[in-house]
Structure 1
């Protein structure tokens, strides 16, 4: 399967004409009876060889990490980071393989962070929480810098999301280091960070509303990073999973999920719905359980939510048209709701 950025690359290389690219998009949209923009494409696999290579890379990186850790704790992380960069020079920069590129990016930034964490543990593993928060913020900031360097070299779309997540960790660490009591308010802090990442995702999204370039791929991963920060923080502040929730709290959860659905339809991104799915399932289970259907409450909850999501998927485009219509001028800055991508 080829992504929008692959098609753009073929146009830039002169392999196909812009008219041919538009005709291809229109043809696929017609077959699926949905606009190409609504498909929310991102490239994960270019073929089964991606899986084969990824397994080999994972085995190699695990071996390198274990061998390095025998020498010293920080050496394992550094060895992973260096190995991941060298492998990316071939599999990412030359071969442009999707899944291996994602794996190598995560291994690189993870290796950079692990190197510094290992060094910190070896120097003094018994530092105070406040000092650890400050050092953690520094580690996260350097990790974000490493992600930026990787982006400049390889431009893997997920890299921006990794860097953004590292910056949220940096801000969180700095707040806790400055105000130790803030660790008890971790969820509001993460929520603010998630909203900032969401705003960044929208900036990338609105720069390519037809989702024909790499910018749309970057936005996809940013939304995927922001969604759990937002959903998890909101629902944890409501006390979900802490104790048996009442019907009132469950109704609030369902109401918030409807708000998330409205936002997802408006921006044409599904990450928020996926990230909050476990919470709405639990809320529906609590409501049905309180009604007396104890034995079948889980099954009925799954049936209702699953049916609702399938209905939403089947009627995504007409429902999205109605949502965008309510937004007035703002709707014009969102991905188009036309039936086809026009040449």
Structure 2
């Protein structure tokens, strides 16, 4: 299976003419009775070899982490416990980051293998983050003494500043990786690192903000969603790498939006009431409308567990206690399959209600030339 970005690359390389590529897209759209954009393509596997390479790469990265941690402790881990822990993180993180980059030079830059590229990107970002955090942890005694950190509040602020600086440097490492390899998930990883920086700074200087963590996460989710829409609107036909970047950004934004909303409602605080269950289901309908409008399903997946719990509660409070789980699965499964089967007409209806805004969203139908 070939992705839209690969098809566009073939046109740019002169392998296919633009007319031939358009004819192929139209043929696929006709055979599937759906616009290409509605399929929400993203490249994860190009073949079983991707899985094979990903498993091998994961084993190598685990080994690199352990060996690098051992070398780090041996070289610079002499001293107190924070220094030993930091040395382990520095050695292990640096080994993972370096190994991930070297492997990416072949499997990402040359072979363009999707799943290994994602794994190696995550390995590089995690390794870089661990290395940076290890540098701070190893020097905590020195930082505490130098800046005269004595109270709990000062310690909390120091931890927040360290987390923010580490997050910012990790986001910078993700940007460097993006400039070299342009793996679509990199932008989402960088966005989450920036979110971590913001939250760390807020908690460092406003300790009482921990009681408002859900609203903070919700705001962060909306901002990431806006960034995803910016990438999406730059490629409405979803034929380039920008669409893949938007997919991963939507996947990052969805839990940041859904989880805080439902947690603020107290969905899992106990047996929810019937009105509250109805409100959860109503919110899921709103999320479905948003998903239809932007033609992305991530928000529906992230909030699915909450509507399942709400529906289960409704059945559990009726006379069908024994069958509540089965009935919940039947109703929600049927609703989701219906939504999938009638995605195109439902989406045309939702986008039609948006007026001029609909022109800035992915098209609701693909024009097939006569």
TM-score bracket for this pair, using the shorter chain length: over 0.9
Q: Which stretch of structure 1 is more off in the superposition, 129-138 or 245-254?
A: 129-138
Q: CA deviation at 1:183?
A: 1.3
Partner of 2:83: none
1:177-196 mapped onto 2 (5 Å cutoff): 177-196=204-223
Give the CA RMSD over aligned residues: 1.5
In 1: Cα distance, 2:294 partner to 2:367 partner: 17
Q: Which stretch of structure 1 is more off in the superposition, 114-123 or 63-72?
A: 114-123
- Of 317, 321, 326 in structure 1, the residue corresponding to residue 348 of structure 2 is 321
1:41-120 mapped onto 2 (5 Å cutoff): 41-71=41-71, 72=73, 73=88, 74-120=90-136
Cα distance change, pair 68–306 in 1 and its aligned pair in 2 (3 A): same
Partner of 1:274: 301
Q: Tell me if structure 2 keeps the 8 A contact 1:68–1:75.
A: yes
In 2: Cα distance, 1:320 partner to 1:340 partner: 16
Q: Tell me if structure 1 keeps the 8 A contact 2:66–2:92.
A: yes
In 2: Cα distance, 1:338 partner to 1:33 partner: 10
In 2: Cα distance, 1:61 partner to 1:341 partner: 48
Partner of 2:194: 167
Partner of 1:205: 232
Matched, 1:11 2:11: yes
In 1: Cα distance, 2:159 partner to 2:369 partner: 54
Q: CA deviation at 1:340?
A: 4.2
In 1: Cα distance, 2:272 partner to 2:164 partner: 35
Alpha-carbon deviations, 1:19-42, whole Å to 9, x = none? 010011111111111111100000
Secondary structure, in 3 states, of the residue corresponding to 2:109?
coil
Partner of 2:82: none
In 1: Cα distance, 2:6 partner to 2:275 partner: 49
- Of 123, 132, 151 in structure 1, the residue corresponding to residue 178 of structure 2 is 151
In 1: Cα distance, 2:214 partner to 2:132 partner: 25
In 1: Cα distance, 2:128 partner to 2:267 partner: 34
Alpha-carbon deviations, 1:227-264, whole Å to 9, x = none? 01100111111112122211121111111100000000
Alpha-carbon deviations, 1:311-343, whole Å to 9, x = none? 000000000000000000001110001144669
Please say which structure displays the higher CA radius of gyration.
2
Secondary structure, in 3 states, of the residue corresponding to 1:90?
helix
In 1: Cα distance, 2:211 partner to 2:346 partner: 40
Q: Which has the higher contact order (CA 8 A, sep 6+)?
A: 1
Q: Tell me if structure 1 keeps the 8 A contact 2:132–2:169.
A: no
Partner of 2:149: none
Instruction: Give unmatched runs, 5+ long, in structure 1.
Output: none
Query: TM-score scaled to structure 2, two decimals?
Result: 0.90
Instruction: Give unmatched runs, 5+ long, in structure 2.
Output: 74-87, 145-151
Q: CA deviation at 1:138?
A: 1.1
Partner of 2:139: 123
